[in-house]
Amino acid sequence: MYSVTTKGEFDAAHFLAGYPGKCKNLHGHRWSIEATLKGEELDELGMLVDFTDIKKDLKELCDNLDHSLIMKKDSLKPATFAALMDEGFKINVMDFIPTAENFAKYFFDELEKKEYPIVEVKVYETPKNYATYTK
């Protein structure tokens, strides 16, 4: 079995609406993503996947989230959301609460859609804390 891992990073703010602790407040992270792919066979060039391709696709996902506010849909009052949009803030609205656990599944699913042999994604909120999603 062969495996390869690539990493991506982005800086973004989020908050956990409804959370009973300090993470209910707007705060930011240097998010770090590790995507691991596995397979039994290599291509004719001796590669499981071309690092150029997986790095590009992971970077594209990270760049979309970089320097934005990531929030669950309908977690702000409409007037607050409208005011932020009016100010020109970059906001990524998700169908999930933006936790490391949910982001691990999000990145896994997005890379799987591109038909990579993805087996695991780790999402680090901090250098010491991460969540893992495997199928």
Catalytic residue ranges: 23, 67, 125
Residue pair 54/32 in contact (Cβ under 8 Å)? The answer is no
Pairing of strands 118-126, 129-134: antiparallel
| Burial class of residue 108 in the structure, from the number of CB atoms within 10 Å of its CB (0-12 exposed, 13-18 middle, 19+ buried) | buried
Token pair 């909120």 is at which residue? 125
